[in-house]
Amino acid sequence: MTSRAGNQNNLQVKGSGNPASQPATASSSEMPIPLRFGAELEVVTGSKKNKHKDWLPLAKELSAELTQNGVNNHVNSKHDRSAENYSEWSIVDEKSIQNNPTGNQWGMELVSPVLDYQKMNLWPGQFDRVWSVLANSFSTSSTNQCSTHVHFSPRGAPWTLSQIQSIAKSVLYYERAIDSIMPFERRTNAWARSNRHNVLFLKEDMATLFHWIDSCTSLSQVAFYMCAFDKDSDYGRMDKATEHFPHFVFRWNFTPLVEGTTGTIEFRQPPGSFKASDTKTWVNFGAAFINAAVNHADKLAPTQKADLKGFKIFLERGAWLAGLRSPGYFDHLFAQRPMLPDGEIELNQAGIAHYMEVFKKAKQGSITQAKFKKLQQRVYK
């Protein structure tokens, strides 16, 4: 395939000259994509006032504190997805995080309502208030098992096939660049596996992957390619799979699109947040990436390797399109970060064991199968 890159940074934006030396302003050929989003905060937390023997009393205490601080919420103790309309925060037990009852520390997930990304004067305050409660009234931390997930969907219109293809190709092309700015545990986590090195893509070159994605005729086909899980894996055998199947446990989860255009794309790779600014960073990162992908994936050169300099330019242009007018906002993510070499990264074996343990509990009925696959069909309506 002939390269379309105009410089060593793998991205030449039409009409911008050298993108590295030009301000990140939108050109006439660029079109911002308005987004809605929802964030999921996995934390380890405990009350500063009370000793709890289970997560539910703690969740109720947290719920009351959030309400007193102007955060509408409820406790979803049964993980009932059908009861959720994502109009307010929900608090759920996070089974992928190991609890420490003797230390009064419990794995918890806080799920935000659906928020309008363009209303930048409103949504950041949601996270400021939630994190203020977590910091002031509770002993809250993050572990290697915690993560920050962000779901995105278009505002006012469904995803188009072209948009999803552009995002998918950008995810594949820049996966190793994103890995390079992530902590080690978020590169080897069994709950955020490589899209690039899934069972279908592992032995193929980038040009072939681009061709496959471009040849897809439906969103569900793209979702399957991007999140294909091995039928011969421990999980596949336990689930008695007879063919490869889409699964949500990838860095970018496309499986909500299996059912149609109203699903979300979920960015699952970010680490657990310690404070509000961490959460907001990953929300902004995802919005910037999607805007850049939709506008500039056609300029990526699959025969050339991505690098961090080119990726930073890509991300900054997406940030401008998304409405983030803060030059240097992502600089701290790239500071002192070398580009990782190509190749598959081995998953953490302890993480795989814990992943399988959770799945076995789901099969045994101690938690619902819907909880284990809670995000596969998540839809913001």
Residue 22 confidence class, pLDDT cut points 50, 70, 90: very low
Q: Is the pLDDT of residue 261 over 80?
A: no
Q: Please, which residues bridge with residue 115 across strands?
A: 37
**Is the pLDDT reported for residue 62 higher than 80?**
yes
Residue type, 168: A
Look at residue 354 and tell me whether its pLDDT is greater than 70. no
The average pLDDT across 32-59 equals: 96
- Rounded-to-integer distance, Cα 27 and Cα 15, Å: 7
Lowest pLDDT segment from 35-44, 191-200, 213-222, 360-369: 360-369
Q: Quick check: 139 pLDDT over 50?
A: yes
Q: Report domain extents, the chain.
A: 35-146, 161-251+292-334
Q: b/e for 32-71, b at 16 or more Cβ within 10 A? A: bbebbbbbbbbbbbbbeeeebeebeebbebbbebbeeeeb
Q: pLDDT for 300-351, tens place per residue?
A: 999 999 999 999 999 999 999 999 999 999 999 999 999 999 887 777 655 5
Encoded tokens for 282: 């990953």
Distance, CA of 151 to chain centre: 7
Q: Is 151 helix (H, G, I), strand (E, B) or coil?
A: strand
Query: Residue 258's pLDDT is what?
Result: 87
Is the pLDDT confidence value at 374 over 50? no
Class of 35-146 in CATH:
alpha beta
Angle at 376 between CA 283 and CA 368, to 5 degrees: 115
Task: Over range 251-262, report the average pLDDT.
Answer: 86
Sequence-distant (≥ 6) Cβ neighbours of residue 259 within 8 angstroms: 220, 377, 379
- pLDDT surpasses 50 at 229: yes
Q: Residue 68 pLDDT more than 80? A: yes
Is 1's pLDDT higher than 60? no
Position with higher pLDDT, 361 vs 171? 171
Q: State the pLDDT confidence band at 235, using cuts at 50, 70 and 90.
A: confident
- Residue 146 confidence (pLDDT): 96
Q: What percent of the chain has pLDDT over 90?
A: 71
Q: Report the pLDDT averaged over residues 52-68.
A: 96
How do 73-75 and 138-141 pair as beta strands? unpaired
Q: pLDDT tens digits for 153-184? A: 999 999 999 999 999 999 999 999 999 999 99
41 membership: H or E segment, kind and range? strand 35-47
Amino acid at site 257: L
- d(CA 155, CA 35) in angstroms, rounded, equals 5
Q: Residue 34 is encoded by which pair of tokens?
A: 């308005």
How far apart, in Å, are the Cα atoms of 116 and each of 119, 126, 292? 6, 12, 18
Give the chain's length: 381
Task: Answer yes or no: are the C-beta atoms of 294 and 218 closer than 8 Å.
Answer: no
- Lowest mean pLDDT, pick from 23-27, 41-45, 147-151, 253-257: 23-27
Are 300 and 5 within 8 A, CB to CB? yes
Q: What predicted TM-score, i.e. pTM, was given to this entire model?
A: 0.87
pLDDT of residue 112: 98
Mean pLDDT, residues 238-244 taken together: 86
Token pair of 159, please? Answer: 């995803």
Structure tokens at 27: 């050109």
Ramachandran angles phi, psi of 151, nearest 5°: -95, 140
pLDDT band at 4 (very low <50, low <70, confident <90, very high): very low
pLDDT (0 to 100) of residue 82: 61
pLDDT tens profile 317-331: 999 999 999 999 999
DSSP structure string for 105-132? BEEEEEEPPPEETT-TTTHHHHHHHHHH
Q: What is the mean pLDDT of the chain?
A: 86
